[in-house]
Structures are given as C-alpha cells and as structure tokens.
Amino acid sequence: MRKSAIACGLLASVAYTAPTWANEDSLKLSQDPKNWAQQSGNYAGTRYSKLDQITTANVGSLKVAWTFSTGVLRGHEGSPLVIGNTMYLHTAFPNNVYALNLDDENKIIWQYSPKQDPSVIPVMCCDTVNRGVQYAEGKILLHQADTALVAIDAKTGKELWKSVNADPKKGETGTQAPTIVKDKVIIGVSGAEFGVRCFLTAYDLNTGKRVWRAYSMGPDEEILVDPEKTMSLGKPVGKDSSLKTWNGDQWKNGGGSIWGYTAWDPELNLFYYGTGNPSTWNPAQRAGPDGKQIDQKWSMTMFARNPDTGMAAWAYQMTPFDEWDYDGINEPILATLKIGGKDRKVAVHFDRNGFGYTWDRATGELLVAEKYDPKVNWATHVVMDPKDPQYGRPQVVAKYSTFLNGQDVNTKGICPAALGSKDQQPASFSEKTGLFYVPTNHVCMDYEPFKVSYTAGQPYVGATLSMFPAPDSHGGMGNFIAWDGATGKIVWSKPEQFSVWSGALTTAGGVAFYGTLEGYLKAVDQKDGKELFKFKTPSGIIGNVFTYEHKGKQHVGVFSGVGGWAGIGLAAGLTNPTDGLGAVGGYAGLSNYTRLGGSLTVFTLP
C-alpha cells in the first residue's frame, strides 16, 4: 500500500467540551484516563487514552499481570470496563456479567447470569457475540442476545429493571453495546438476515420505560425524519424519502440492522450511528417496479439524531441499492481535523464498502470519501462535486454488479468481500499523531444471488458466497493501517496473515495496540507501524484492546476467544466452505493456529 507523510499542521483534539446538562457521571468517568469507562473509551469513540506510562521505548517489556477465564467458549467481542477499583466483564451467550475487585486479587464481587432461551442462538447471524456492557450512575447496562435490556446494580449485581426490546421468534436479536446519553439508554436491534425491519430505541435510564423508537426504513413518522429539516448532502430529504425508494411494501421486511459502536457530541447534542444492509441479499428481488435499481433508504446509512427526541438531523447513504451486503454499521469517530486550512469538527467512518468517509458532523457535508484498501474494485470512486447529479454516490463497476449480472449468476472477484474492508472491529484516533488506526480485512469474494421467500423467523438471505485473500497482494487477509482522515490517504500499512478483527487502541505513549485472529496481542509505533511487542494469548482475538491505571501502574488488556463472522467456522463447528455466509472457506486455515477460548489477559510493565 502507498505511504504518505503525516499531513503537516493536522490538528487533533478531543471531540467535545462537556456542557453542564450532559450525563455528568459518564462524562466525568470517561475523562479520567485511569478508568476505561465506556466501550469506546469516550463519547467521541476515539479509543484513545492519555495514559503514557507504557511507551514505544518500554512496551517491549510488557509482562502478563493476570488472566481470567470467562467460562464461555464462543467469540468474545468488546472489552471489559474499569471504574475505579472495579472491573466489569461480559461474555458471549449466555451473556454473563462479572464484577471483579482489582484491590483484592481480582476477586469476583458478583456474577449476573441471564436466563435466556437457547433458541435465540440459531437466529444470531454471525456467532453468539456481545459487544459489551456500559456504565452510568451506579448501573451496568446489558443488552442480551434475546434483546432484553437490563439494568444491574453495579455494587450488588441485583437486577434493577428489564425491558424487552424485540422478539427473537421473528429473527430479532441483540448484540450491540448500549449507549447512555444523559438519562437515556439507546440500543439497536439486529435481524436483516431474517427480514426484520430494524430500529433504534431509547429507554429511560432509571425506569427502563421506552421513550422513542426510530426505524431504519418506512414512513417519515416511524423513521423520525422531518421532510424539511432532516438533511442529506445539503438538501432536505423530502416527504416519504424512504417509502419512495422501496418497491411496494418491501420496506416492511427491509433490514437495516443496528449493531455497531456509536458516538455522541454533547455540544451539538447529536448521536451518530450506522444502519445495515437491506433485505434480502438478492438485489433482483429488491428492484423497482420497472426492474431498475432503487436506493432503499435508509439502509446503509450514517444517521445523526437528537438523542432527546430521536429526530434525525442528517443522513448519508454510503451504499445505495446494496448488492454485496456492505453493512453500514461501522462506528463513527468524532475528531477535529484541519481540512482546507480550516479546523473542521468531523465524523470519520470506515465503511464495509471499502471507503473511508469524513463528514462535517454538524451538517453531514461530505468532505472526504476515499478507498482505504487499494484492492477495492466494486466502485471506482464517490462523486464529490455538489453540482453533479451523482453527488455523494459511489460509481459502480458493472463487472462486479451482482444485480446487472443477474440472479443465479456467480459474480467473481468482488473486492471487498461481504464482511467488508472493515467489519465491526473499531478503529482508533490518536490525539498524538492526528491519524486513525484501522484494523482491516483484505478479502474478496464470489457472490451468487438466488430467489428466496420471506417467512418470519427464517433466514432471508438469498445469496451464496465464497471468500478468499485479495489477489496480487501480500497473500494475507488483513492489514493494520494508519489513515489520514483529512486527505483520505493511507500513511502506512502493516500486513497480517488473517483479517485484523480486534478493536484498536492508541495511547499518549505513542503506541497503537491490536489483536490478531491467531491470538497475538501486538503493539506498534504510531508513527511508522514498526512492531514493538507481541504475545500469543490462549485464543484468537476479536475483542477490543483497552487500558486503565491501577495502583499507579498502567495496564493493557484484551479478550481472547475466537469467533465472530471471520471465526464462525471454529466457533460453530462449521466445515462447508460456503457456510457462515461464505466465511468458513475463506478462514479455513485459522484452525491451524488457534482454538476456542474465552479469557481475559492483562499486561503491565515489570
């Protein structure tokens, strides 16, 4: 991959200054670097820590401080939280939660064990993962696989309230980490692969009562958009912006899952998140009445909403009329960058479709849209001229269009594969360099759509996939890259044998951390990607690296427990190459390096 110098004068900063009316508890805790108080480290989603005890000079001396077995052998995404002297851990299904006393040899203070019906497991798309608990005002918030949202007393482990968000019998499931904004807990629902019309819901933090719900597609009043005030690329979305882009009532099974990490800007009071693919994966079944492509809004969309009311301020659709399952759920990261000589408060997003986007986070103005893997071939570019009728749209290459090539035709060599140039594994933004550090997939696919009928609670996919490493490259399936969000250029790239499915962490010590599917925790220099440390943990890493300080020492930790979409073959014992929505064959070699696990490994300096 091409290298470039770090942009001169690039301004990096924390994305917000806390106003007085925000959730003071969550903001205060996340602003103390001794804690790891949110899944993304802070509301801006930067996954950056100001702790600097571990540096590029001494990180090679890291030693294992302690370990903890979760007792669950499936994919472990997300990370623990650390609030003061207490650590809170979660597991994959059945979504047990532990509180550990860091002052007393990490003794278990309490364990919360949900009583869930195991029938939810077959309707979980891509392993039984959970992306983490959240904390606010003495409560731990857990989103269970069966979609129950639970508030747990952080001191005792006692259940305070439970609200059922959706119905697994319809294919609706929960894997997303909640987000707590002021007095509301915001959570999404999955189920696009089962024809669910998905939604985002806000609940009262203290009572669990539902406050508002915003669907991904449908009538304006149900998707919570104002035809005249909700903007897209500088223009009002207009009346029936979603309904007009669906054929008949197909929107009722429209998909648009919400399960990625989110961000919130307290100054603008805007909450940012992405929606997933439309249902089904067979684009021919979603064509317009004239047989032509139709956008299917608002799937594949980055939304900015008012968290108090749920009303959308702006929306941008990354992949209109998706033909490849390029789920748009990946996290937004809030930062301030110098673009065109001006400091711009932006949201940056690395989409599954292989493009890295930078928007003005107040208005949704598109500032940057560039490929963050040069092998991306399904589209040539995104039109950036506001005067062009195609403004903001990717320009699809006909050869790789699964719609133009037709139903029951195997379109070959599409890059990236359906799991994208990056899936849910969150990137990090470093205040030290002003760069984004991105764990990526370097994977392509063959994709054959076929006709499928909708039945509630049954798979509604309609495509057979095969995945493989990107050709004419380093032969591996992943890279860890540094990205300039102001210019849309790769600064450096470090190849990996398998996809980097672990969330990144950057610190004031100049180090970037990530994990590998084989099970290595790695540390590299933020400036040039030079590897400074690696350690093989008990299982493949799909969790997110985190850091905290305890008794004056900085610690770095990560879950190991292979699984998720890339590791579904190992996690679920699948062997057919096209199983796991195409991932089993692509990652067959992973079984030579790791096995199932569920553990936490914590490191510190001697």
Contact present, 487 and 368 (Cβ < 8 Å): yes
The edge-to-edge listing of strands for the beta sheet with 231-232 is 235-236, 231-232, 312-317, 301-305, 270-274, 263-265
DSSP result, 452-495: ----TTS----EEEEEEEPSSS-S-SEEEEEEETTTTEEEEEEE
Dihedrals phi, psi of 479, to nearest 5 degrees: -145, 150
Dihedrals phi, psi of 590, to nearest 5 degrees: -65, -30
Measuring CA to CA, which residue among 117, 119, 121, 32 is closest to residue 81?
32
Measuring CA to CA, which residue among 227, 182, 193, 169 is closest to residue 23?
182
d(CA 249, CA 139): 41
d(CA 278, CA 196): 9
> Please, what sign has the CA dihedral across residues 310, 315, 319, 322?
positive
Helix (H) or strand (E) holding 547: strand 546-550
- For 11, which DSSP code? -
Dihedrals phi, psi of 216, to nearest 5 degrees: -75, -25
Measuring CA to CA, which residue among 456, 423, 453, 457 is closest to residue 440?
423
Residue with tokens 């009262």: 204
Residue with tokens 């608002």: 298
How many residues make up the chain in this entry?
606
Peptide bond into 416 cis (omega under 30): yes
d(CA 489, CA 6): 10
Dihedrals phi, psi of 310, to nearest 5 degrees: 85, -5
- C-alpha distances (whole Å) from 69 to each of 76, 447, 539, 540, 565 are 11, 39, 11, 14, 22
Contact present, 500 and 512 (Cβ < 8 Å): no
Is 325 assigned a catalytic role? Answer: yes
d(CA 561, CA 93): 13
Q: Catalytic residue among 146, 265, 322, 325, which?
A: 325
> Please, what sign has the CA dihedral across residues 389, 321, 468, 302?
positive
| Catalytic residue set | 325
